[in-house]
Structure 1
C-alpha cells in the first residue's frame, strides 16, 4: 500500500519495502537474459550502445561482420513487418519493438485529453474489450526523421528495461503497417504530485511525505542500478493513484549513464527549477546524481507546498532563489 488520501482527511499506511522483490526480479531478469543468449533469441545491440541522439554504434568489427549483421537486420525487419510494425519504425528502432506485437487503435476509445508536451499528447482511454482504463501517449515526429524516431525508441527501450512498483509500466504499443503515428499504452494513474500540491484541501503530513519520498527514492534506485538516468524529475512527472502509490513517469529525456563513454551528454535536460548546478553551468559529463538534486527540490516542494527554486533563467535559479 502507499500513502492514501481521502476527501475528509489523509491517512497513511506503511510503504512496502520492495528491496527483496527488486533483488528477486533482478535475479529472474538475469536468468532470462542468459536463457535468451544461449538460445540465440537476443537480437540487435546492447542497451548501453544507444547514445545521446539515439544513435547506435559498433566498436571494431569487420566487413564480414557488417555483412552478417546487415542480413540479420533485413530478416528482423521482415519479421517485424509481418507482425504489423510500420517499416519506418522497424528500420531504425527494431530493438525497441523486438518480441512485441502492436495493438490496433480501434481496440481503445479515447475519453479525454489529460496532458500535453512538446513532442506528445496524453489521453485517458478505455480498452473496449475489457473496459480497463489506460493512458495513451501519442508521440509526434519531425517528418519521421530517423533521429526523431531513435529518440522515441530510446524511451521505449528504457521503459522495457525497468520493472519496479514505483516506475510507470509500459504495457504495449499501438500502430500498424499503414500508420503514421504511434501510441504508448501505460497503466492509468489518477493524480500527479504537482496537481495534489495545488489543492488547498490537501495537506500532507510528515508521515505521508516520508512515504512518498521513500517510494520516489526506491523507484530511482531501480533506475540507477540499471544504468538509467531519468533527467526530468519533477512533481508533474510523479504520478499517484487513489491507493497512494507513487510512480516515476515520463522517460522522454532519460538516457543511459555514460559508464566511461567519451560521448558528451547534453546539459539541456531537467526542467529549470529542478536542474542541478553542474547542468546550469553546462556540464556534459555527469551521472545519476543529477536526479538526486531534483529529488531534493521535490522534497522541499512537499514541505512548503510550492517549488523552492523558482526562476526564469539559469542565472537566478541557484541558492539566491527564495521559497
Structure 2
C-alpha cells in the first residue's frame, strides 16, 4: 500500500476519535483496528544491497528499486513493535512530506514469505553524528540551524512531534543538505493538557527538562530543546549535557546550573560567539518550555533575519 493511503487512513481514524495516536507499543489500538487489512506493496520490487544502519528499532538497508534503478533505504522494524508502530511512523513521516530537509517516505511494503514490513525511504547518506565532534564556525552553524529549525517548523505545523531529534537522526546528503529522519518515536500532537503514553522517549542528552521531570503533557517544545542541544554541539564539538548521568542527575544539574552552564559556554568556551547567536541558543535551551523559542519564533530572530537581509542587499 502506498504511504499516502496508510497516512490517510491513520488521519481519518485519529480525527474520528479526536485523539491522534501516539507512537509506542500500540496498546491503545482497538481490536477492530488490529483486524484492519492493508494491501501493502511487495518488497520484491527492491533489491537489497547492504545494511547501512542497525539499532534497537530495526535495520536500515540500502536497496535498488528494480523498476527505476534508483537507490532507496528500506527500514525493517523489529517484529516485536508490531504493525501499528509501522503504520503510525509512516503516517507521521508522510504528514511532513514535501520539505527538502525531511527524509521522504515513498512506500510501505511487505515480504510475502517472511511477513516482514518495510518502510521505503529516500536514500540520503551518512548521519551528522559521523561528522562530529569537531566544532564549526558560527556562520556555518547558523545555516545548518536555519535548515533544521525550518524542518521542525514543517513537522510541528503538520501536528507532529518528532521526539528524537539528535545527530544520528540527521542525515547529510552528498551535496551537504541536512535531512531529519527516523520518525519511529514521533507522535501526532494531543490536545493541550492531555498526556502522552510515555513521559520520555528518545535519547537522554537531547531530552527536555519537562520530560526528565516525568511530565507527560509536553508539546513541540521538546523538539526545540533537542535542536538547542544540537546547536551547542555544533559550536563546541561534544554534547552539552548527559554524559554518564542518570535522568535524575541530569534533571538536577539542569535545574540548578543551566544558566551558569550557558554563561560559561558564552564567556569561556565560545568567547567569540555573537550576542545574537547566544540569544538563540539560550532561547532554545530555556528551562521552562513556555519560554522556549518555537520554530517560527526562532526563524524570525535577528541571528537569521539580519544575515538574510545582508545577503539580499549584496545580491542587489
TM-score relative to the length of structure 2: 0.68
Q: Specify which of 53, 56, 61 is matched with residue 118 of structure 1.
A: 56
Per-residue CA shift, 1:81-137, capped at 9, x if unaligned? xxxxxxxxx84565xx6xxx6332232222221111213101111223332111110
CA–CA separation in structure 1 for the residues paired with 2:10 and 2:85? 22
CA–CA separation in structure 2 for the residues paired with 1:256 and 1:43? 9
Structure ranking higher in helix proportion: 2
1:219 corresponds in structure 2 to: 151
Local SS of the residue matching 2:174: coil
Segments of 5+ residues of structure 2 without an aligned counterpart are: 1-7, 266-316
Shift of 1:179: 4.3
Local SS of the residue matching 1:46: helix
2:247 corresponds in structure 1 to: 314
User: Following superposition of structure 1 onto structure 2, how do residues 200-211 of structure 1 map, counting pairs within 5 Å?
Assistant: 204-211=136-143
Shift of 1:283: 0.8
Segments of 5+ residues of structure 1 without an aligned counterpart are: 1-36, 59-69, 74-89
Superposed CA RMSD: 3.0
CA–CA separation in structure 2 for the residues paired with 1:139 and 1:42? 18
CA spacing shift, 1:42–1:132, aligned 2, 3 Å: closer
TM-score relative to the length of structure 1: 0.67
Query: How many residues of Structure 1 are paired with residues of Structure 2 in the alignment?
Result: 244
Shift of 1:230: 0.5
CA spacing shift, 1:173–1:239, aligned 2, 3 Å: same
1:128 corresponds in structure 2 to: 66
CA spacing shift, 1:93–1:118, aligned 2, 3 Å: farther
CA–CA separation in structure 2 for the residues paired with 1:193 and 1:42? 31
1:137 corresponds in structure 2 to: 75
The answer as to 2:169 corresponding to 1:237 is yes
CA–CA separation in structure 2 for the residues paired with 1:178 and 1:44? 31
CA–CA separation in structure 1 for the residues paired with 2:219 and 2:195? 13
CA–CA separation in structure 1 for the residues paired with 2:77 and 2:10? 27
Per-residue CA shift, 1:237-263, capped at 9, x if unaligned? 011101121111111111112214634
CA–CA separation in structure 1 for the residues paired with 2:52 and 2:88? 24
2:93 corresponds in structure 1 to: 159
User: Following superposition of structure 1 onto structure 2, how do residues 211-290 of structure 1 map, counting pairs within 5 Å?
Assistant: 211-260=143-192, 262-290=194-222
Shift of 1:277: 0.8
CA–CA separation in structure 2 for the residues paired with 1:93 and 1:292? 36
